[in-house]
Amino acid sequence: MLQFFTSGESHGPQLTAFIEGLPAGLELDLVEIQKEMQRRKIGSGSGARQKMETDTVEIVSGVRQGKTLGSPITLVIKNKDFANWTEVMSASSTDTDPELKKVHNPRPGHADLAGALKYGFTDLRNVLERASARETTARVAAGAVFKQFLKALGVEVASYTLQIGSVQSDKAGNFEEVKQAEEKNPSTRALSTEAHAAMEALIAETRLKQDTLGGVIEVWVVGLPVGLGSYVQWNRKMDGQLAQALMSIQSVKAVEIGEGIAATQKHGSEVHDPILYKEGFRRPSNNAGGLEGGVSNGEPLIVRVYHKPIATLYNPLPSVDFETKEVAPASIERSDICVIPRAGVIAESMTAFVLAKNVLEKFGGDCMEDLKSNLENYKKRVG
Ligand SMILES: Cc1cc2nc3c(=O)[nH]c(=O)nc-3n(C[C@H](O)[C@H](O)[C@H](O)COP(=O)(O)O)c2cc1C
């Protein structure tokens, strides 16, 4: 079974991604992995941290001479900022002052309060160092590997920005449009130029107001074989698996498959995609977003990911000192204003993981050659 985990604190020495279960013989393009890391760093509304870090990925296990070995893959991203935090983040108890950079006032909307109560901390830094979305650098590094695995099987993943705050962009009509958005408007990744300009203006205005924004990302996947996931057991349904993986991204509060939300206000006759047969089964529309009964149906997978506005406010909300219980403004950590433009690559990474896992469950194989021949045989059967 394909699995991946991450470790590392926001200001610790490094982030690590550990992947177990990928077959041997997958060619990995290291430059491509680095490009994905760069995509996570760039976008309007980002904070200073993105400028400081290079997010260089080092592969320290599981890959040799450009190909996977079938053994666990470990990816390491060193935190440059650690140089400024060595004392605060030291693993040793002897060379640190516990009051240094201690965080006292929990931020509404962050994990600070619930996390400190749960784990019995008085320094909220012990929570935020791991709850921080700096962790997503490791997800994106792993996701870059999953995307290359899928690409080797003819499956491609991309995303664009559908909404930032109240500004909505045009919806993509096909995969080419999805891919073009980033090239056309790299700082927002919106499809239409008008929406891009309005989003830029809204982010600038929000920065001046010392407030934050959320938004919506749409992920598309093409080239998926029919039959990934299953309806036979609740935890094998791929819509459920995608929702879990995508909801686990920091600040994501809703996940929608196809026309999920709009469909709730329509009649069934307007929503469900007719079935035709012309040299194979065809669907003239794709309101289902490529999944029926938790199973891929051969149409493009379309998933929307909804992020709430960032919790850290430079004009902070009321809070209390965690120890004294005195009224105090919420703490401020260096923060982004809006992460939507650069969060698409994180959603792509988590989507790619779920798909890669389901591909491996269905087609198996210890090496890419076996996997590919299993897939080809299956494709011959289903036509
Ligand atoms: C790419 C990315 C960057 C983020 N950067 C920040 C940030 O700078 N400041 C902040 O308060 N929250 C940031 N967040 C969101 C928080 O990490 C998140 O709201 C928090 O961990 C609480 O989790 P929850 O919102 O999922 O409940 C970011 C999220 C993502 C996806």
Residue whose tokens read 């993509």:
172
**Which residues does a 6 A CB cutoff place in the pocket of ligand 1?**
47, 109-111, 131-133, 136, 249-251, 308, 310-312, 335-336, 339, 343, 346
Question: What is the CA(335)–ligand 1 centre distance, in A?
Answer: 9
Looking from the CA of residue 136, the nearest atom of ligand 1 is 1
Q: Tell the residue nearest (CA) to atom 25 of ligand 1.
A: 251
In angstroms, the Cα distances linking 58 to 30, 77, 99 are 9, 6, 34
Give 44-93 pLDDT, tens digit per residue. Answer: 878 887 888 899 999 999 999 999 999 999 999 999 999 999 999 999 88
Task: Say how many Å lie between the CA of residue 155 and the centre of ligand 1.
Answer: 29
Instruction: Give the pLDDT score at 47.
Output: 81
Q: Cα–Cα distance between 121 and 112 in angstroms, integer?
A: 10
- Written as six digits, the tokens of 252 are 């994501």
In the chain the first and final C-alpha atoms are separated, in Å, by: 27
Check residue 191 and give its pLDDT: 96
pLDDT of the residue at 49? 79
Report the atom number in ligand 1 closest to the C-alpha of 249: 31
Whose C-alpha lies nearest to ligand 1, atom 9?
A: 335
Q: How far is the CA of 310 from the centre of ligand 1 (A)?
A: 6
Domain 3-382 homologous superfamily, CATH: Chorismate synthase AroC (3.60.150.10)
Ligand 1 centroid–CA 108 distance in Å is 12
Residue 51: the pLDDT is 82
Question: DSSP letters of 44-106?
Answer: TT--THHHH----EEEEESEETTEEESS-EEEEEE-GGGGGTTTTT-S-SSS--TTTT---SP
Q: Is 111 helix (H, G, I), strand (E, B) or coil?
A: coil
Cβ within 8 Å of residue 17, ≥6 positions away:
4, 5, 6, 74, 75, 138, 139, 141, 142
- Atom 13 (ligand 1) nearest CA: 310
Tell me what the pLDDT averaged over the chain comes to. 96
How far apart are the CA of 297 and the centre of ligand 1, in A?
A: 33
Mutate to test the pocket of ligand 1, among 124, 132, 159, 253 (most ligand atoms within 8 A of CB): 132
The residues with which 4 forms a beta bridge, in sequence order, are 19
Grouping H, G, I as helix, E, B as strand and the rest as coil, residue 17 is strand
Residue 144 has pLDDT above 80, yes or no: yes
Whether residue 115 has pLDDT greater than 90:
yes
pLDDT at residue number 335:
86
* Per-domain residue ranges of the chain: 3-382
* pLDDT interval class at 151 (50, 70, 90): very high
What separation in Å is there between the alpha carbon of 332 and the centre of ligand 1?
Answer: 13
Q: Indicate which atom in ligand 1 lies nearest the CA of residue 134.
A: 3
Measured distance CA(140)–CA(136) in Å, rounded: 6
The model's pTM:
0.97
The answer to whether 54 and 94 are in contact (CB under 8 A) is no
Output Rg (C-alpha) for the chain, integer angstroms. 22
Question: In what helix (H) or strand (E) does residue 318 lie, and over which residues does it extend?
Answer: strand 318-320
Closest ligand 1 atom, residue 252 Cα: 26
307 alpha carbon – ligand 1 mean position (Å): 9
